[in-house]
């Protein structure tokens, strides 16, 4: 332990440093943090303070005091070296610039250093263009989307860097935050563009911020060259050890046909998910020495050239007519006009990640972008840097799962007899709730059933989760340790709980019948409830970390910011919150689509951690491509789902103890209660205006709840009588509509 003299000496050193290193202005503090892709929570955790304190420093309301002031000054000094302001001169390869200037300026692109496992290269660009003289070649000049087709020719003769008309504000009468991408001098036109053909048959690119670029390319290879050389598209890396996001071109039907692609895939092509290798456009790309990944030229195609040193030359295509934007995640986004679609995707790219596939793919890619598997080493004796393991990441090589974590058909289970059904003592079954029970006589006398839904439940389950970073170790007769992630074979059938609550240990809510495999959070909850647990065996991971924290924080911030744009903010009174939620999708329907995509990114990303084999040709016992990813981690998926289900049970138990109310149905993150009134306020207690501590709380933040729907008890009893007591009311509480297909008939 430090002596008093040592402590005073340390404080004196900090005070001396403070006098030598004054802090930058509050606005610059915020710019530096955002440029580095850091959240206020991350800064607060590093400095051992609260997020609200960091927010006050950035707003200028308060100033840091010793000893945190010196540490904060050092952090800002380091960030300032990496992320100087745009006007300070040429930017370094990791430098995002501050807020966008009114007029975009074409700037040179400094390539990002690739990771060791990358086979593809970084963007090169044209030299900076002055905004004053006219552009010698008009096609790349930006123009306003408001320019009528008849005057498009005049617009194309404008000088490079001409200011474009801003996008229309959202329907709430204010510009949506995030509708313009964060500026970066290397990527003046944002992360992506929607390419379309206008009324004059000219190919135009709709960029984020309302900018239009004329596209001179006549072929797909030329379009790729233009994108990397003149378009000024891309996005800065989310982590200093990662790489910048490749530019994305979204092709409308008209644009696809202009570049020789079909507007729709044939049935056979839909089945394979790509154009055949002998298609003329695929041959054009090969002739121009462009390559495609193994998935070929499909809805999301990655076109690249092999890495040359530190340069990346990659473009991502998103082809709308080939169902690249799945309606289950993106709603009607694929049918929006190009300018609206560019705005929608731009908000998602700015707040979440530049899209590069389905929302599930984006969720997984975001994990890697925030925790790259490798980093640059310190210079060796020859002054060279190499790629090395990045601490806290999952690394660049896949690890084997434990046998109980392996899904059916996994190579680890190839020795099992054909058609063998594994029971709870052989397989880890950590899944979300799907449980229902009959209403009691007392509940049948109430007029309503009310559903409440947890916001971003799986994201909240990921927050703070300690997960394994490496391979598992098999242990027999272990002593349970809640701090060690893994799976445990333990008998929890003796845990006694009120039968009006689902069991916290099974997805069906039924009481366990004997020993079963559980993830660490599930066993820890049994200990929390006061039960002695004695595992028979376990597969444990000793190298651990909070791998998903940054992922949660970015998605949380994206969700909360988008909800704020839709009129739902943190700290609202319960009734005001319910009123705002009832109309939030009408405030700006396009941003409501972004909201849906953010939620799909969370669920899809967690699901991708245990991706199953897809397509024909696979046989049980054979490996499938997803197993080659370091991010194929069914143990992490199980831990998140376990935490989510336990969180749900803990709050239901708290509510039952305080009010005597028990759920009649639970489906994943939705719970249904019999109620005297139609509002969640009739279910959730508010003591003196304060919600029940440790229970469900109405609000917008992840982990808090919103109103899912209300129906009458007569409706509930009617559908249960018609479809049986096994029907889960939570599945239909939102609109009350039940179909034979929904019921599995």
Per-residue confidence at 597, pLDDT binned at 50, 70, 90?
A: very high
pLDDT at 252: 98
pLDDT cut 90: percent of the chain above it? 67
pLDDT cut 70: percent of the chain above it? 82
68-78 mean pLDDT: 84
Q: What is the dihedral of CA 97, 101, 106, 110, to 10 degrees?
A: 0
In degrees, rounded to 5, the angle at the alpha carbon of residue 39 between the alpha carbons of residues 34 and 42 is 130
55-76 mean pLDDT: 83
Contact 114, 217 (CB under 8 A): no
DSSP letter for 139, please. Answer: G
Instruction: Give 707's strand partners.
Output: 452
**Dist. CA 740–CA 666, nearest whole Å:** 20
Residues 6 or more apart whose Cβ sits within 8 Å of residue 53: 44, 62, 64
pLDDT at 376: 87
Instruction: Give 389's strand partners.
Output: 374
Residue 614 neighbours by CB distance under 10 Å: 10
**Dist. CA 221–CA 662, nearest whole Å:** 62
**Dist. CA 487–CA 524, nearest whole Å:** 11
pLDDT at 446: 96
pLDDT at 583: 96
Supply the Cα-derived Rg of the chain in whole angstroms.
28
Per-residue confidence at 263, pLDDT binned at 50, 70, 90?
A: very high
**Per-position DSSP letters for 309-365, written without gaps between them:** TTEEEEEEEEEGGGT-S-HHHHTTGGGS-HHHHHHHHHHHHHHT----SSHHHHHHH
573-586 mean pLDDT: 96
Least reliable range by pLDDT among 69-83, 156-170, 227-241, 568-582: 156-170
Token output for 86: 């745009």
Cα atoms in the 13 Å half-sphere on the side-chain side of 296: 14
Token output for 694: 């440790």
Per-residue confidence at 114, pLDDT binned at 50, 70, 90?
A: very low
429 vs 155, more confident: 429
619-626 mean pLDDT: 93
Arithmetic mean of pLDDT over the chain: 84
pLDDT in tens, 295-307: 999 999 999 998 7
User: Is pLDDT above 80 for 163?
Assistant: no
Q: Which helix (H) or strand (E) holds 525?
A: helix 520-528
Contact 344, 333 (CB under 8 A): yes
User: Is pLDDT above 60 for 559?
Assistant: yes
User: Is pLDDT above 90 for 62?
Assistant: no
331-343 mean pLDDT: 96
464-491 mean pLDDT: 97
Cα atoms in the 13 Å half-sphere on the side-chain side of 455: 25
Q: Which helix (H) or strand (E) holds 442?
A: helix 441-444
- The bridge status of strand 192-197 relative to strand 248-251 is parallel
**Dist. CA 350–CA 577, nearest whole Å:** 26
pLDDT at 4: 55
Measured CA distances, 183 to 114, 186, 233, 498, 544 (Å): 22, 9, 11, 56, 36
With helix as H, strand as E and coil as C, how does 35-75 read?
HCCCCHHHHHHHHCCCHHHHHHHHHCCCCCCCCHHHHHHHH
User: Is pLDDT above 90 for 181?
Assistant: no
Token output for 620: 């049980």
**Dist. CA 353–CA 299, nearest whole Å:** 18
Instruction: Give 300's strand partners.
Output: 318
pLDDT at 9: 53
**Dist. CA 55–CA 465, nearest whole Å:** 25
190-201 mean pLDDT: 95
pLDDT at 740: 52
pLDDT at 10: 57
617-623 mean pLDDT: 90
| Helices first, then strands: H and E counts in the chain | 21, 23
User: Is pLDDT above 60 for 664?
Assistant: yes
Token output for 703: 């982990």
Measured CA distances, 8 to 4, 11, 69 (Å): 6, 5, 16
Q: Where are the domains of the chain?
A: 4-83, 138-355
382 vs 121, more confident: 382
Residue 322 neighbours by CB distance under 10 Å: 27
Least reliable range by pLDDT among 208-222, 392-406, 452-466, 717-731: 717-731
Strongest mean pLDDT among 84-93, 305-314, 666-675, 725-734: 666-675
Token output for 42: 């991350």
Q: Which helix (H) or strand (E) holds 27?
A: helix 26-35
Residues 6 or more apart whose Cβ sits within 8 Å of residue 620: 408, 409, 413, 414, 418
pLDDT at 180: 39
Q: Among residues 212, 197, 205, which one has the least CA distance to residue 227? A: 205
pLDDT at 21: 52
Q: Which helix (H) or strand (E) holds 654?
A: helix 634-659
Token output for 408: 């059916």
562 vs 124, more confident: 562
474 vs 79, more confident: 474
Residue 200 neighbours by CB distance under 10 Å: 11
**Dist. CA 696–CA 450, nearest whole Å:** 14
Q: What is the pTM of this model?
A: 0.77
260 vs 179, more confident: 260
pLDDT at 151: 31
Cα atoms in the 13 Å half-sphere on the side-chain side of 603: 15
CATH architecture of 4-83: Orthogonal Bundle (1.10)
Per-residue confidence at 79, pLDDT binned at 50, 70, 90?
A: confident
User: Is pLDDT above 80 for 126?
Assistant: no
164-178 mean pLDDT: 36
Residues 6 or more apart whose Cβ sits within 8 Å of residue 740: none
557-562 mean pLDDT: 97
Least reliable range by pLDDT among 22-36, 200-214, 434-448, 563-577: 22-36
Contact 249, 315 (CB under 8 A): yes
Token output for 202: 């000219």
178 vs 200, more confident: 200
**Dist. CA 610–CA 598, nearest whole Å:** 20
User: Is pLDDT above 90 for 98?
Assistant: no
Q: Among residues 116, 714, 660, which one has the least CA distance to residue 397? A: 116
pLDDT at 219: 96
pLDDT at 381: 78
195-209 mean pLDDT: 95
86-107 mean pLDDT: 36
79 vs 189, more confident: 189
Per-residue confidence at 87, pLDDT binned at 50, 70, 90?
A: very low
**Dist. CA 247–CA 426, nearest whole Å:** 46
**Dist. CA 466–CA 454, nearest whole Å:** 22
pLDDT at 97: 37
110 vs 639, more confident: 639
**Dist. CA 141–CA 500, nearest whole Å:** 66
**Dist. CA 193–CA 189, nearest whole Å:** 8
User: Is pLDDT above 90 for 144?
Assistant: no
Contact 114, 305 (CB under 8 A): no
Find the largest Cα–Cα distance for the chain.
Answer: 82
Q: Which residue has the tokens 């440029």?
A: 35
Per-residue confidence at 738, pLDDT binned at 50, 70, 90?
A: confident
pLDDT at 84: 78
Provide the residue count of the chain: 745
């Amino acid at each position: 332990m430090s002596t008093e003299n040592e402590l005073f000496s340390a404080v004196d050193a900090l005070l001396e440093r403070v006098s030598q290193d004054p802090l930058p202005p509050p606005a610059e503090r915020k710019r530096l943090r955002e440029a580095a892709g850091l959240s206020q929570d991350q800064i607060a955790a590093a400095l051992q303070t609260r997020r609200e304190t960091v927010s006050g420093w950035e707003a200028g309301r308060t100033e840091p005091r010793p000893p945190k002031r010196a540490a904060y000054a050092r952090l800002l000094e380091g960030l300032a070296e990496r992320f100087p302001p745009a006007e300070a001169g040429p930017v370094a390869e990791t430098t995002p610039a501050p807020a966008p200037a009114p007029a975009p300026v074409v700037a040179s692109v400094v390539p990002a250093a690739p990771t060791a496992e990358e086979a593809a290269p970084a963007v090169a660009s044209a030299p900076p263009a002055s905004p004053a003289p006219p552009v010698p070649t008009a096609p790349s000049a930006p123009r306003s989307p408001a320019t009528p087709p008849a005057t498009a020719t005049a617009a194309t003769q404008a000088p490079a860097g001409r200011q474009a008309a801003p996008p229309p504000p959202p329907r709430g009468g204010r510009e949506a935050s995030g509708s313009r991408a964060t500026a970066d001098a290397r990527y003046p036109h944002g992360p992506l563009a929607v390419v379309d053909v206008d009324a004059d048959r000219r190919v135009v690119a709709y960029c984020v911020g309302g900018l239009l670029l004329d596209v001179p390319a006549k072929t797909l290879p030329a379009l790729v060259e233009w994108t990397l050389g003149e378009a000024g598209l891309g996005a800065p890396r989310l982590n200093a050890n990662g790489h910048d996001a490749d530019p994305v071109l979204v092709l409308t039907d008209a644009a696809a046909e202009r570049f020789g692609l079909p507007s729709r895939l044939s049935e056979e092509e839909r089945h394979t998910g790509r154009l055949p290798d002998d298609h003329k456009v695929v041959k054009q790309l090969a002739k121009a020495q462009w390559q495609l990944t193994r998935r070929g030229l499909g809805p999301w195609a990655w076109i690249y050239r092999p890495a040359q040193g530190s340069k990346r030359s990659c473009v991502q295509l998103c082809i709308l007519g080939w169902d690249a934007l799945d309606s289950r995640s993106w709603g009607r986004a694929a049918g929006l006009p190009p300018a609206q679609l560019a705005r929608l995707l731009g908000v998602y790219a700015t707040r979440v990640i530049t899209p590069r596939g389905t929302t599930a793919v984006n969720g997984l890619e975001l994990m890697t972008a925030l925790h790259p598997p490798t980093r640059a080493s310190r210079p060796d004796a020859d002054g060279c840097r190499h790629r090395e393991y990045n601490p806290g990441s999952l690394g660049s090589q896949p690890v084997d799962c434990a046998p109980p974590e392996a899904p059916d058909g996994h190579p680890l289970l190839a020795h099992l007899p054909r058609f063998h059904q594994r029971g709870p003592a052989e397989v880890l079954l950590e899944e979300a709730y799907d449980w229902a029970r009959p209403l009691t006589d007392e509940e049948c006398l109430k007029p309503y059933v009310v559903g409440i839904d947890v916001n971003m439940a799986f994201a909240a389950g990921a927050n703070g989760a300690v997960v394994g970073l490496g391979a598992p170790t098999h242990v027999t007769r272990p002593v349970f340790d809640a701090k060690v992630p893994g799976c445990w074979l333990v008998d929890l059938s003796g845990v006694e709980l009120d039968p009006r609550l689902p069991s916290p240990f099974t997805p069906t809510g039924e009481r366990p019948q004997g020993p079963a495999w559980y993830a660490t959070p599930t066993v820890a909850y049994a200990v929390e409830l006061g039960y002695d647990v004695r595992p028979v065996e376990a597969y444990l991971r000793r190298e651990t970390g909070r791998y998903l924290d940054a992922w949660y924080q970015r998605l949380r911030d994206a969700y909360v910011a988008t909800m704020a744009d839709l009129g739902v903010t943190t700290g609202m009174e319960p009734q005001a919150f319910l009123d705002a939620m009832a109309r939030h999708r009408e405030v700006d329907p396009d941003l409501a689509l972004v909201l849906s995509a953010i939620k799909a990114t969370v669920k899809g990303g967690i699901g991708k951690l245990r991706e199953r084999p897809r397509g024909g040709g696979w046989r049980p016992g054979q490996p499938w491509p997803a197993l080659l990813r370091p991010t194929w981690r069914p143990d992490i998926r199980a831990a998140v789902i376990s935490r989510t289900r336990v969180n749900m049970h803990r709050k239901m138990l708290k509510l039952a103890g305080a009010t005597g109310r028990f759920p009649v149905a639970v489906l994943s993150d939705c719970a249904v209660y019999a109620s005297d009134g139609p509002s969640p306020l009739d279910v959730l207690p508010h003591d003196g205006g304060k919600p029940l501590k440790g229970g469900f709380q109405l609000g917008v933040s992840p982990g808090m709840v919103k109103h899912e729907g209300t129906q009458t008890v007569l409706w509930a009893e009617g559908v249960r009588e018609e479809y049986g007591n096994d029907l889960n009311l939570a599945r239909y509480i939102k609109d009350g509509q039940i179909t034979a297909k929904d019921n599995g008939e």
